[in-house]
Chain A
Amino acid sequence: MGKTRKSAHLAWLAAGGLALAGAVAGPAVGQTLTLAVAASPTSLDPHYHNLAPNNSLADHIFGALVEMDANTRPEPGLALSWKPISDLVWELKLRPGVKFHDGSAFTAEDIAYTLARVPTVKNSPGSFLLYTRGVTKVEVVDPLTVRLTTGAVTPLLPIDLSQVAILPHGLGPEPTSESFNALKSTIGTGPYRVTAYNSGDRVELARNDAYWGEKPHWEKVHYRMIPNDSARTSALLAGDVDFIEAVPTSDLSTLRKDKRVALAEAVSLRFAYLFFDRTRDGGGMPFVSGPDGEALAKNPLADVRVRRALSMAINRAAIVDRVMEGAAVATGQFLAKGSTSYVDDLAPPAYDPEAARKLLAEAGYPRGFRITLQGPNDRYVNDEKVIQAVGQMWTRIGLQTKVDAITWPSFIGRASKQEFSAFFVAWGVSSGEASNPLRALIHTFDASRGFGSANRARYSNPALDAVIERGMAITDDAAREVVLKQATRMAMEDVAMITLYQQKNIWGMKPDLRYVARADEATHAFAVYPAK
């Protein structure tokens, strides 16, 4: 009975609220959004640290030449159009009439200024240089036309440029990261201005009414940081915040049923995979030994049949359903359905422990072998639970599996020194198509040419390398996609890695809001709307 009265009361309140909104009219009068993000940005300097929380916040304040839509396809930003006029030269037409927060006009000078500033940022923990390095010359043709010359054929230049926030050249020589944090240099073309910044706690944003694009609904945004998962969910349920990112999977089943909360989800560009060390194919593996603990003369993981058996032993559907609570999609390749260079007929390997056992026996390991699967315990969603589940499944096909989860800094340091035999990692495909994982994870490690930069397993397949390099040199999008698909198929057929699933990004909000869920993990206050 009490419940009925309460809901009647609520209905009355809602009706009153609606009438009031109708009476006051005018879109967005004094509308404020309080949102909570999971990770704190390390700086307001958009070129200081290439880190998801920083970039997500920077998207509110600054603009880039190319914007990424919710499905990470490039669309015009500060540049209206871009086209290669030769193999190495791109011409960009800029958007006219754009103003920075300080009132200065946006021109081609600002592109030159920004691209020159990126390499000068001091003590950058993660440089944006990787997006601008390709550009060797910036030529200002007229205030709204700029030509960029690249050192090599760079078909992905527009995507690279979408990561670089444009600053006004009026900031002068080398503004320091500190002056950004002090809000002196925090001037962009984005939909919001910063009015206050308290590192690790909150950022206050106010709408930039001179913004060139769609005007955001919220006049003010309280951008709070609540790293603790349950605290963030509780803040939403208690009504302290209107909107949260990274809803913890452990709460999903309850929240899906909770009427106080609406969820928005999108399959992300981050895929989880298992990697197998290939630097010791001739024996001496640190975490692989025979069934009785004896040293093995050669690495069982060098045999494609063993890798295939390990992949077939994994019940991806169970991991997605039980461990990830449905916040993931089982996969057998880098990207999710609907992305550029997704291979349609490359299904996730079927779960078949019997066949996996047979395949192991055929490869000469009828009694299996001992293996330790390593992974981080504080980096990815449910990381240590997933590796335990994989451990269970490998044990079922006769491998004596040990599972070891350690903190991320120590894990990634050791993984990069090839100290593991089998390990779990996830990779965010920043470009939204397969050339990024193929180049960084699958191509033979070659630091001087920038290949295999994250190929911590040191997997190497020269035939595949040739296909990847061929694909990288094609400027035509359709023709490049064909080659990238071919390379993806080759990598998966050779089981270069075992891909497990793509994560879903999940946002939670009050039921009267909606969010355009994004494939990248960005949380954008300007993409939050009142539900119709």
Chain B
Amino acid sequence: MSAAASPEPQDAVVAVKQETPFARFVSEYCESPVAVVSFIAVVLIVGVALLAPWISPQNPYDLAQLDIMDGRLAPGATSMDGMVFWLGTDDQGRDMLSGIMYGLRISLGVGVGSAAIACVIGTALGLIAAFAGGKVDTSLMRLVDLQLSFPAILVALMILAILGKGVMNVMLALVIVEWARFARTARSAALVEARREYMEAAQCLALPKWRLVFRHMLPNCMPPIIVIGTILVARAITLEATLSFLGLGVPITEPSLGLLIANGYQYMLSGKYWISFYPGIALLVTIMAINLVGDQLRDVLNPRLKR
């Protein structure tokens, strides 16, 4: 987006002297070089994750491609059949580079997937609470309070203890943990919007309620939801990594970043740093980039922060 969009605002300025809202958004976003770099990093990471099956040197989830005789090789070592392990191998002889690429796939998939589902559910409930008010609002918000009063990791651990391991179960746990924040954000945004004139105007037209809420109110509530969404994607990735690190997330033969780190953790003392170190770096960069993008989005989308 940034690379393609940077010439766009200038064109717009020169040609029409009046920016479209999107062009203005892009130019404001690009004011921070850090945010631009972060955005490029996010695009690259997503690209690597999506293309992992085609660009990774090895399928780290196929047991037939692993050989424990290649286990714990240092970065740059060569396997017996001539393959080079640029980032070394873990204890099962899994190429760390491929492991990280596939691990990113799981981390991002789980993070984005769960945040998206939580966003849909949470936003819908938040809007309903704001629009309906009264008992519906009170009961939904008390439920949200209850949910937010538990540490997220505790709730996720309980859910996984009941449901058992697996990527789908981790997603479900993350959705259950995260929906409340979306609901709270959507409700507060909707309460503000509900008192605006355009809403009164829309009500005067006797439009059906669902149309009022989802066609008129929702689009105007989107900016804070988008911001909280990016932050919660990063949070979901961290939570998934934590759960996998604790051995509750993904199956051992299909490690995500958290499990790769856990596998290498016990070798740290032995100087075999690469098993934990590189997945850790990948996780750190991913979460930091997403958070920085989210921060800049918040600054751009929040009119109160405008100079």
Contacts and interface: CB of A to CB of B under 8 A. Distances in A.
Interface string A397-423: 000011111110000000000000000
Contact of A318 (B68, B252, B267): B68
A374 to B, nearest CB: 11
Interface string A4-41: 00000000000000000000000000000000000000
A377 B263 CA distance: 12
A251 B266 CA distance: 8
A198 interface: no
Interface residues of B, number: 23
Interface stretch (A294-302, A355-363, A383-391): A383-391
A422 to B, nearest CB: 15
Most B Cβ at <10 Å: residue of A233, A318, A388 = A388
A388 B63 CA distance: 8
Contacts of B266: 229-230, 248, 250
Contacts of B271: 254
A318 B69 contact: yes
A403 B270 contact: no
Nearest to A385: B91
Nearest to B267: A250
A12 B302 CA distance: 70
Q: Is the interface of A mostly helix, strand, loop or mixed?
A: helix
Interface string A278-302: 0000000000000000000000000
B269 A254 contact: yes
Contact of B269 (A230, A384, A395): A230
A251 B271 CA distance: 9
A322 B252 contact: no
A406 B165 contact: yes
B3 interface: no
A377 B246 CA distance: 11
B268 A230 contact: yes
Given A389-B92, A403-B252, A322 B71 contact: yes
Interface string B47-79: 000000000000000011011110110000000
B253 A403 contact: yes
A407 to B, nearest CB: 8
A377 B252 contact: yes
Given A318-B69, A388-B252, A406-B165, A234 B91 contact: no
B133 interface: no
Interface string A237-263: 000000000001011011000000000
B58 to A, nearest CB: 13
Contacts of A391: 63, 253
A388 B92 contact: yes
Interface string A197-238: 000000000000000000000000000000001100110000
B247 interface: yes
A403 B271 CA distance: 28
B80 to A, nearest CB: 12
Given A388-B252, A401-B63, A377 B247 contact: yes
B251 A251 contact: no
Contact of A385 (B64, B92, B165, B251): B92
Interface in A336-392: 377-378, 384-385, 388-389, 391-392
Contacts of B164: 406
A384 B68 CA distance: 13
A435 to B, nearest CB: 35
Interface in B71-126: 71-72, 91-93
Interface residues of A, number: 30
Contacts of A94: none
B85 to A, nearest CB: 15
B270 A392 contact: no
Contact of B68 (A250, A251, A389): A389
B98 to A, nearest CB: 15
Interface in B193-239: none
A392 B64 CA distance: 6
B64 A396 contact: yes
B252 A392 contact: no
B115 to A, nearest CB: 28
A396 B69 CA distance: 14
A330 B251 CA distance: 27
A319 B67 CA distance: 11
A522 to B, nearest CB: 25
Interface string B256-273: 000000000011111100
A322 B68 contact: yes
A250 B91 CA distance: 10
A405 B252 contact: yes
A401 B63 CA distance: 8
Contact of A250 (B165, B247, B270): B270
A81 B247 CA distance: 51
Contacts of A234: 269
A118 interface: no
Interface in B19-34: none
Contacts of A377: 247, 252
B257 to A, nearest CB: 18
Given A250-B267, A392-B64, A395-B64, A402 B91 contact: no
Contacts of A500: none
Interface of B: 63-64, 66-69, 71-72, 91-93, 164-165, 247, 251-253, 266-271
Given A230-B268, A385-B92, A403-B252, 7 more contacts: A248-B266, A254-B269, A322-B68, A322-B91, A392-B63, A395-B63, A404-B252
Interface of A: 229-230, 233-234, 248, 250-251, 253-254, 318-319, 322-323, 377-378, 384-385, 388-389, 391-392, 395-396, 401-407
15 contacts: A229-B266, A248-B266, A250-B270, A253-B270, A322-B71, A377-B252, A378-B247, A385-B91, A388-B253, A389-B68, A392-B64, A392-B93, A395-B64, A406-B165, A407-B247
The 8 A-B residue pairs with the shortest CB-CB distance, nearest first, are: A395-B63, A254-B270, A395-B64, A250-B266, A322-B68, A392-B63, A389-B68, A322-B71
